[in-house]
Amino acid sequence: MSRLSAEDESELQLLLKQLLISINDRISGAPSTECAEEILLHLEETDKNFHNYEFVKYFRQYVETSLGTVVEEETKNLTRGEGQHAIGSGHDTLIHAVTRRTRDSAEYQQMMQTLKNTMIVAVESLINRFEEDQMRKEELHRERQQSQSNSQYIDNCSDSDSSFNQSYAFIRQEQLQDLAEKLDPSRPKEVRWQALQALCCAPPSDVLSCESWSGLRRKLCAALTEPDPDLADNVLQFFAKSFSSSPLNVTREIYTSLGRLLLLPLPQIRLMNDFQKEVTTFWIRHPEKYMEEIIESTFSLLSLHHEPGSTSPRTEKTLEPIHLLALLDIRATWFNKWMHGCYSRTVVLRLLERKYKSLQFKLLHRSFSALVQRSVYSGKELEYAVVVHSLCFLGKLLIYTNGRKLFPVKVRKRKDPVGLADLVVILIHIMYQQPERLHSDTSYTDPLSPSGLVMEVLWTLGDRTECAAECLHQPAVIETLLAPVICELKSPAVALTLVADILARVANTDRGLALFLHEENVLVAHGERTTAALVVVQFTLRLLNDELPSLSESDARQTLCGAFIFVCRQMYNTCEGLQVLRPHGLHAAIAAAWKKTSSLSERVPTPMPGPTARASTQELQNMLIWEETLLDSLLNFAATPKGLLLLQQTGAMNECVSYMFSRFSKKLQVSRCEKFGYGVMVTQVAATAPGVVALRCSGFVQALVTELWSTLECGSEEVRGVRPQPTPMDPIDRSCLKVPRVVLELIDRLIAVNSDAKIHSLFHYEQSHTFGLRLLSVLCSNLDSFLLLESQYDICSALLQSQRENVTEEFIVDSLSVERNHVLVRVGVVGGPSERRLPPRALQEGEDPYPWPMFSSHPLPPCYTLDLPNILHISQDSEITSFLSASVDAASEEGWMLICRRHYCDAMTSEPGILTGHGEILVHRVAVDSLRSSRCHFPSHHTHLNHGVRTRPPKAPLNDQRWSDHLDAARALKTSQSNYSRFHLKIECCSPQVCDCYPGHDWLASTVFLIMAGDADRSLRLLLGLSSLLTSAFIWPAGIHASVHVAVETAESGIPPVYWCTAHYVEMLLKAEVPLVHAAFRMSGFTPSQTCLHWLTQCFWNYLDWTEICHYVSTCVVMGPDYQVYMCTAVFKHLQPEILRRTQSQELQVFLKEEPIRGFEVSDYLEFMERLERSYRDVVLTDMKTLRDPVG
């Protein structure tokens, strides 16, 4: 049973009323509703008579009757096998167990449901009776006053001109009964009109609470149907007054009465529509059944329709309620408000699903009829208003999940039901048949045009991920959008511009992009199918090359071309999209169009005063806009590493960066589809040498340096929120000092503060110099940058001198000395996270706030250098040693490679530590690969080093000593330093004319020298063999720099393969495999490619322990060059928790540059990298092999 019996319900109502009367004083004294609820919840604790109330006794008895048997059975079951253990210490446990099982029983659930349903009915009944009692009391009170005065009191006060606040008279029940009789339809018109006049003067509350209200309401509704407008106007005046001053339980009766009328004039619909818009503000305070009755009455009204065969075709079409409602509220504002809150939206969708499917059919039929029979209804504003109303209604309905579940819907004149994709296709066809006139701007002048309404619906769907996936990201929708493109402009150019707008929004989402790039769902000529991306890019290229003569007007062609370039832009600004579009040469076509337009704009003469001046000025403006559009499209190639290479090869890098800086200075948005600004593109550009030059020439670097200096030195010392700042007392204005313009000047002013004059030139010496030291720490995380600063500024000596000057008897521990100590230790020790210890930057609590020794002179305090792990050399009886010692048969070279990979993976999985001294593996692997012409990617002659090796000797004796220390610790060689110098001399002999070409140190050569235990001859032979392999192009940046084996235009770009290839695919794999990390980088404006370039250029020195650096090199040589991509991806996957946390605290870039990669071991992620190999090797390794021609 879900309800109690009628007798029990009546008894329960009586007991509840007695309880409320008993505690009336407590509740009425509560200051708010929340306090009253708290009083009821804690009534047992505060009321000593709680258990004596009959209501509580009734509930106790009902619970015992319903659950007594269940409790007894559960108690027996739990104590059956436990005996006396159930008593004593375990008694409480038994009680809890019985209680839990009882609450989980079906009887308990049924009892709670029954009580809930019964109490809801009881409470609602009490509320209704209470309101009726209050009305009767007020009525009796008024009757007493009238009997005492024996006259009728009339209130003639009116404090406004509103019809809701005019004069009215208090009225008795007898008078209301008399008025009801006079309103009978059989009475003369004059009598009924006078009765309505008297009724309008009476208080609505008196009329609505009278005993004869039900009969009076029927007669008022009958008066609305009279042809005489005077009667209807008086009835509507009374209803309007009632709406504004009556509770919902009364106004709903009036509203539903209006909805039940079949012949509805416009004023009644207007009154209903006003109520529809306002009812949402207060129906949440009333029971749900009131709201449900209002909504159901509305849908019942709108569902009324005239059968098409009931009248002659010659007669005029019968008006329906929806016609009039559409005229009054054409954008369906009432429905938007009803769907806004979950409280009402749930009821709306439930009623549409269960009872009013005919209304869905009707709205869909209206939209569909507008499509099929546009020639019939094009001149009828009323029908078009219904179409607009229906589109707005459906557009709001599709936003919500339960609204989309209402589809598919069966529609007249269609054999198959209309699904979500079918509805979107219908809307697109409406847009094709009624395109909006092309304007100079992108805004629509007519908000009610068919194309504008359809675009508004499609934009709304496209902005929501789930809606877009179900409605837009469907093959049928994409094929419909691309149909006019395939037909080569059989549709107007304006319609194609709108199509491009929708396609761009689809391609801007991950699901839509995958649909464009990989699914062959577009039917082209001869029954062939292709991808949407191919159709769009081919059409865009034809527009750029002026191969579509149907577009005669230049402005229309440029507008359409710009729209479709924007669609392509959503694809080529992602790594996977650029892979698909790159072979088509879109970047070259855009660059050619830009150069042509730029040259034409320079030759346009200055407009002279006259009749043609305006046309000439407009032509020039259109040309400049088109030039900026092309330049902006080229700039967006810089969103990916390989796209940046393509941009550099177009020769437009400087112009694009200048254009980006101009928009950045004006704080303009990147595009309507981009959310995170220019940070990603600036970071990509700054990671390359030509990009840095372009940033400097554009003024970007100067602007950043100026802004930084202003923040540090010219900012306010304090923020005064109460009083204004006093008159400045500084002896000189801060803006009078020379402001640094470039990075070198900033370093000189903030870092190399080695004189009193520099100290006095800073207004905030301590904070500015501290920031300079922090900046130096980040710069020195790149070892090549540190060597440059050391050679140019002798930065270490300057910092040591500053530390010594900070000593009297003891060090003064301040922020500057602590920061200097941290920087000196960072640059003074080379090693991974377990090979060196860096002092903290913050003080600690306690008696000794900074227990770390200060580094003020050599040697470095030993506490900062950790003991390196012992190197486990491969034993002679290990499987991999036995395999390597065997000869290699030329006929079985391929099998030897596979077996070598398997032994290497087994050793990495079981005992990775023994592979640290694995110079033998590298020698054998390189020797075997060098002998095989099929795997020899570059010529294996020694003369190759004349063009391939670009190495440099150590930059400073300090660095020599540091490497020697590392060698001594790793190999215990006494002659390591001399061997290393001899090793570099031999490399110089191989390439004496270009030894200084590579702008950095050869970190792979240093790594190989350490791996080969300081043997210069073996190290050189290994590098000579490695130089013929494809792997060398990526793990050996110095070896491939300016190599003859790289395409000339690629070499001239100054962008290394490790950036445009390795880093490019790392970003692509991160998006697919580690999406959270990819999203974090995107939000921060920083890029994984710049971090990868940093790590790989210096061979992970200072980021990984020596063992893992050896594993990195050997894995790339043995497993293949594509494992460089997989390892970087694995490192980012390992750092994911820290990356997400640092992104939230806005310190991601500093973390990735300064902090080592803690806890990462190649062996732990080898299985992950093998999985990536199986999924992506065909793409990654194939592209790596195109090193000679990376663009083609």
pLDDT tens sequence across 371-421: 433 333 333 677 778 888 888 888 899 999 999 998 888 887 778 888 999
Q: How confident is the model at residue 1160 (pLDDT cuts 50, 70, 90)?
A: very high
Nearest CA to 1121 out of 1188, 1061, 1069, 1039 is that of 1061
**821 Cβ contact partners less than 8 Å away, ≥ 6 residues apart:** 803, 839, 852, 854, 855
The overall pTM is greater than 0.85: no
CA–CA separation, 1094 vs 155, rounded Å?
87
CA–CA separation, 602 vs 920, rounded Å?
64
Yes or no: say if 945 and 1034 are a contact pair by the CB < 8 Å rule.
no
Tokens of 707: 């802004």
How many other CB atoms are found less than 10 A from the CB of residue 1171? 13
CA–CA separation, 567 vs 471, rounded Å?
19
Query: What residues are paired with 169 via a beta bridge?
Result: 154
- Angle at the Cα of 399 (from 393 to 405), degrees rounded to 5? 90
How many other CB atoms are found less than 10 A from the CB of residue 604? 13
Nearest CA to 664 out of 676, 675, 683, 678 is that of 678
Q: Is the pLDDT of residue 772 over 80?
A: yes
What is the pLDDT averaged over residues 452-457? 88
CA–CA separation, 558 vs 622, rounded Å?
9
Q: How confident is the model at residue 650 (pLDDT cuts 50, 70, 90)?
A: very high
**206 Cβ contact partners less than 8 Å away, ≥ 6 residues apart:** 139, 142, 170, 171, 176
Cα 850 to chain center, whole Å?
A: 43
pLDDT tens sequence across 149-188: 443 433 333 333 333 344 444 677 788 888 888 888 888 8
Q: What is the per-residue DSSP string for 678-704? A: THHHHHHHHTSHHHHHHHHHHTHHHHH
Who wins on pLDDT, 686 or 126?
686
pLDDT of residue 101: 86
Helices (H), 508-640: 510-518, 532-544, 554-572, 575-581, 586-603, 613-635
Place of tokens 């100079």: 440
Percentage of the chain with pLDDT > 90? 29
Q: Which 3 state secondary structure label does DSSP give 523?
A: strand
Yes or no: say if 240 and 164 are a contact pair by the CB < 8 Å rule.
yes
Q: How confident is the model at residue 77 (pLDDT cuts 50, 70, 90)?
A: confident
Query: What residues are paired with 100 via a beta bridge?
Result: none
pLDDT of residue 722: 41
CA–CA separation, 1129 vs 1107, rounded Å?
19
Q: For all residues of the chain together, what is the average pLDDT?
A: 79
Cα 1084 to chain center, whole Å?
A: 12
**Beta strands of 423-483 (E only): which ranges?**
none
Place of tokens 């372009």: 694
Yes or no: say if 783 and 1001 are a contact pair by the CB < 8 Å rule.
yes
Place of tokens 């009476």: 202
pLDDT tens sequence across 893-928: 667 778 888 888 888 888 777 666 556 566 666 656
Counting DSSP H helices and E strands in the chain, the numbers are 64, 4
Phi-psi region of 490 (alpha: psi -120 to 50; beta: other; left: phi over 0): alpha
What is the pLDDT averaged over residues 334-355? 85
Q: What is the residue type of 261?
A: L
Cα 1111 to chain center, whole Å?
A: 37
**680 Cβ contact partners less than 8 Å away, ≥ 6 residues apart:** 639, 1081, 1082, 1085, 1086, 1087
Yes or no: say if 557 and 503 are a contact pair by the CB < 8 Å rule.
no
CA–CA separation, 1000 vs 306, rounded Å?
84
Q: Is the pLDDT of residue 942 over 50?
A: no
Q: What is the per-residue DSSP string for 893-908? A: HHHHHHHHHHHHHHHH
CA–CA separation, 360 vs 350, rounded Å?
13
Tokens of 374: 């546009």
Yes or no: say if 367 and 390 are a contact pair by the CB < 8 Å rule.
yes
pLDDT of residue 1073: 96
Q: Is the pLDDT of residue 58 over 90?
A: no
CA–CA separation, 1037 vs 1094, rounded Å?
12
Counting beta carbons within 10 angstroms of the beta carbon of residue 523, is it exposed (0 to 12), middle (13 to 18) or buried (19 or more)? middle
pLDDT tens sequence across 954-1008: 443 344 444 445 444 444 444 455 555 555 555 555 544 334 578 888 899 988 8
C-alpha to C-alpha distances, 355 to 365, 389, 401, nearest whole angstrom: 18, 21, 19
C-alpha to C-alpha distances, 861 to 777, 815, 839, 852, nearest whole angstrom: 19, 20, 11, 9
pLDDT of residue 352: 83
- Does residue 583 have a cis bond before it (omega within 30 degrees)? no
**363 Cβ contact partners less than 8 Å away, ≥ 6 residues apart:** 390, 393, 394
Q: How confident is the model at residue 314 (pLDDT cuts 50, 70, 90)?
A: very low
CA–CA separation, 466 vs 473, rounded Å?
10
pLDDT of residue 130: 73
Query: Rounded to the nearest 5°, which phi and psi values hold at 523?
Result: -85, 125
Counting beta carbons within 10 angstroms of the beta carbon of residue 532, is it exposed (0 to 12), middle (13 to 18) or buried (19 or more)? buried
In this structure, what DSSP letter does residue 316 have?
P
Yes or no: say if 1074 and 1056 are a contact pair by the CB < 8 Å rule.
no
Q: How confident is the model at residue 595 (pLDDT cuts 50, 70, 90)?
A: very high
Yes or no: say if 264 and 321 are a contact pair by the CB < 8 Å rule.
yes
Which range of 538-552, 727-741, 1010-1024, 1092-1106 scores highest in mean pLDDT? It is 1092-1106
Nearest CA to 1042 out of 952, 1050, 1025, 1003 is that of 1050
Helices (H), 699-814: 700-713, 743-750, 756-760, 765-780, 783-793, 795-805
Q: Which 3 state secondary structure label does DSSP give 515?
A: helix
- What is the b/e burial string over 242-259, where b = at least 16 CB atoms within 10 angstroms of the residue's CB? bbeebebbbbbbbbbbbb
